[in-house]
């Protein structure tokens, strides 16, 4: 799920539901009602998207309802399509781009047509970022155990230093030799 998928289709979305692909640190489902024009809804969108970028990246899908039962609460229950007239892709892009600082490079929003031309599922693919991103409420979030939670200062610093550290890789081999008697 970390890599950016090139093509999203209704069949792929339905397979997530059919196979009960559970939410994880890099996959999150949101019902259509999660999108809204109130400041509270916009804050929640910025929180969820920035948390994915600050963690390992991932996929956020608007238009899938989860089960209400606690033991199944992280499983997709059914499609809950978004009205693309009320919430066009451009609106969602604007909410993300104007409420997360700095902007997330490489973010991709794919509308997947469901039922009629006005009903869609929005798949947001979020790459792991090379810096920390702040949500609209001036906090930094990360994904942890199915939710977006505030980051500690050391975690923000760690994310901001992702590009400035050297990755060291060590390979070693063990050779066994037999001695002659």
- What would the pLDDT profile of 109-159 be if each residue is shown by its tens digit? 999 999 777 999 999 999 999 999 999 999 999 998 888 999 999 999 999
**Model confidence at 3, in pLDDT bands (50, 70, 90)?**
very low
* Closest to 4 measured CA to CA, from 82, 104, 89: 104
Inform me whether the pLDDT recorded for 1 exceeds 60: no
pLDDT averaged over every residue in the chain: 91
Residue 5 has a pLDDT of: 55
Inform me whether the pLDDT recorded for 2 exceeds 60: no
Q: Element (H or E) spanning 82, and its range?
A: strand 82-83
Q: Which residues contact 165 (CB under 8 A, 6 or more apart)?
A: none
> What pTM does this model have?
0.84
More confident residue, 181 or 171: 171
Which of the 8 DSSP states describes residue 41?
H
More confident residue, 127 or 5: 127
């Amino acid at each position: 799920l970390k890599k950016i998928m090139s093509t999203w289709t209704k069949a792929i979305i339905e397979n997530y539901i059919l196979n009960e692909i559970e939410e994880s640190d890099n996959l999150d489902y949101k019902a259509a009602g999660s999108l809204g024009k109130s400041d509270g809804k916009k804050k929640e969108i910025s929180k969820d998207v920035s948390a994915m970028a600050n963690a390992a990246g991932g996929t956020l899908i608007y238009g899938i309802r989860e089960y209400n039962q606690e033991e199944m609460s992280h499983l997709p229950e059914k499609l809950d399509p978004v009205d693309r007239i009320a919430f066009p892709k451009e609106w969602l892009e604007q909410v993300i781009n104007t409420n997360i600082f700095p902007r997330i490079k490489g973010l991709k929003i794919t509308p997947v047509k469901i039922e009629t031309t006005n009903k869609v599922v929005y798949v947001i693919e979020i790459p792991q970022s090379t810096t920390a991103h702040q949500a609209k409420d001036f906090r930094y979030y990360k994904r942890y155990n199915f939710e977006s939670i505030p980051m500690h200062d050391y975690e923000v610093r760690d994310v901001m230093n992702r590009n400035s550290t050297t990755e060291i890789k060590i390979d070693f081999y063990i050779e066994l030799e037999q001695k002659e008697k």
